[in-house]
Structure 1
Amino acid sequence: MLSFFKSESKAITIPDRPPPPSYEQIKEDVEATPDNDIMFRSRLRTESESSDEYFDALSEIDTSGDVDMEAEQERVYDQVVELLQLHQRLITAPESLESELKKLKALGHDVSEAVTDLREMSQSFVHGTEETVEFIKTDHLEKTKS
């Protein structure tokens, strides 16, 4: 029976890591990416540029379009920061809404008690006024009789 719970130790072999891609493979991947892919876009390239021209030394790269590219990257970065902030607000929203609900329920209870107290006070005032009016009537009738 105990043999059922015993596990047979089997050696788990993890496959070796694949070798990193070669320069040519990387170059092919970058060339295959669409022009609007922000991860691989370092500057706008034209259709006439070959991959060799695209991967030349930094001193030979035309940086005239980099200002627009930097502005675009900054805009996208700002959008990502805003989305992360909104995500954080959404994560904390249930807790804050729950605390607001508790506050509102307590406030509603307090308002209900205040309304009940006001009703009781108004009822006692109305009864007190009716008694006063009756007293005045009876007092006036007694004075007129005498």
Structure 2
Amino acid sequence: MLGFFKAKSKSITIPDRPHPPSFEQIKEDVDIAPDSDIMFCTRSRSGSDSSEEYFDARSEFDTSGDEDMEEEQEHAYDQSVELLQLHQRLVTAPQALEAELDKLRTLGQEVSKAVEEIRQMSNHSPRQSEDSNISGQQKKTKVKT
């Protein structure tokens, strides 16, 4: 029955990770990136490697005056947190469901035992023996008449 809940997994081979780019490749990518590229817009394009030429990213992307942008960012953050919580619940769900299944099986066995005990008690109850005595006496009186 547990096999029902488990997915039939196929052996999937994941290719090896590619080697990270060299410093020269990274520098070339940065140098040829257009000025409108959001990833590189905080870097000055003068060609100098001086760290003084980097802009303050906070001042460039300051959204404190834009309430709509702040609300949108807050909403996106809340959605991300909710998604992460849901993912965690989904990750732990199989273990929790299996624990619940074990509890239900145990309870089912206990109920079956209780039903069997009640059946045995009803088969050996004094009332039934009295009923059988009464029906036996009635048969005797019918035979005599």
Structure 1 length as normaliser, TM-score? 0.54
Q: Distance in 1 between matches of 2:70 and 2:108?
A: 54
AA at the equivalent of 1:29: D
1:127 Cα offset (Å) = 3.6
> Mapping of 1:1-146 within 5 angstroms?
16-17=22-23, 18-19=26-27, 21-22=30-31, 25=33, 27-30=35-38, 64=65, 66-125=66-125, 127-134=128-135
Q: Distance in 1 between matches of 2:102 and 2:63?
A: 61
SS of residue in 2 equivalent to 1:28: coil
Alignment CA distance shift 1:63-1:111 (3 Å): closer
Alignment CA distance shift 1:27-1:129 (3 Å): farther
1:93 Cα offset (Å) = 0.4
Structure 2 unaligned spans of 5+:
1-19, 42-58
1:98 Cα offset (Å) = 0.5
Alignment CA distance shift 1:63-1:70 (3 Å): closer
AA at the equivalent of 1:133: I
Q: Distance in 2 between matches of 1:112 and 1:62?
A: 66
1:130 Cα offset (Å) = 2.6
1:21 Cα offset (Å) = 1.9
Structure 2 length as normaliser, TM-score? 0.54
Name the structure 1 match of 2:55: none
Q: Distance in 1 between matches of 2:21 and 2:86?
A: 41
SS of residue in 2 equivalent to 1:27: coil
Alignment CA distance shift 1:70-1:26 (3 Å): farther
Q: How many residues in Structure 1 have an aligned counterpart in Structure 2? A: 99
Query: Which structure is larger by alpha-carbon Rg, 1 or 2?
Result: 1
- Calculate the aligned-residue CA RMSD, in Å: 3.5
The one of the two structures with greater contact order (alpha-carbon pairs below 8 A, sep at least 6) is: 1
